[in-house]
Amino acid sequence: MALITRFTRLFQADIHAVLDRIEEPDVLLGQAIREMEEDITRDEQRARAFKGERAQTGNRRSEVERAVQELQEELEVCFRSNEEDLARAVIRRKLQADQLSRTLVQKDKTLTDAIAELDDRLGENRERLSVMRQKFELLSDDLAPVHSGSPWASGPVPITDEDVEVAFLREKQRRNGS
């Protein structure tokens, strides 16, 4: 049983090695870089949206706090005037405003946490993208001489008559000497 497992692993390793040679690492790395850039752009957009929403939440909280202050003043007037039924209605509105304020505080905290998490992830992804770009540049530099430095990549190299004569004389000497 162990022998079959080992043969299976060897066969899989050979297949993976062939696939690795077929795949072009510079193309795969380029695709990974594009995908990482898309992820970063998407996260930046989400962070901007969260920051805008947090600003709106802060504005809304300020409005609610002003309304609570106004309701507190109205409540004082109601109690001074001995208007208990009207005071109850004002207290109801004040309780609703307090509840809305607590909800907005919680939403602000949630948005702040989400923004911090996104900012951390953006920082990590930017670092990874930088490393991937450096690897891509190194890989491109390593592959460039193979592709563009090869004399066959730019077409046939011109051969002079003198080159032919020298090669002919070498072949003649080699044949006579052996």
Residues 23-75: tens digit of each pLDDT: 677 777 888 889 999 999 999 999 999 999 999 999 999 999 999 999 999 99
CA distances from 44 to 30, 125, 126, 130 (A): 21, 11, 11, 17
Q: How far apart are CA 127 and CA 40, in angstroms?
A: 11
Q: How far apart are CA 43 and CA 37, in angstroms?
A: 10
**Burial (CB count within 10 angstroms: exposed 0-12, middle 13-18, buried 19+), residue 22:** exposed
CA distances from 169 to 89, 161, 162, 178 (A): 115, 12, 11, 14
Q: Are 32 and 132 in contact (CB under 8 A)?
A: yes
> pTM for the full model?
0.59
Name the DSSP class of 150. Answer: S
Q: Which domains does the chain have, with CATH numbers?
A: 26-140 (1.10.287)
Provide CB contacts within 8 A for 114, sequence distance 6+.
50
Average pLDDT over residues 97-126: 95
pLDDT (0 to 100) of residue 45: 96
Span 115-155, pLDDT tens digits? 999 999 999 999 999 888 888 888 777 655 444 444 444 45
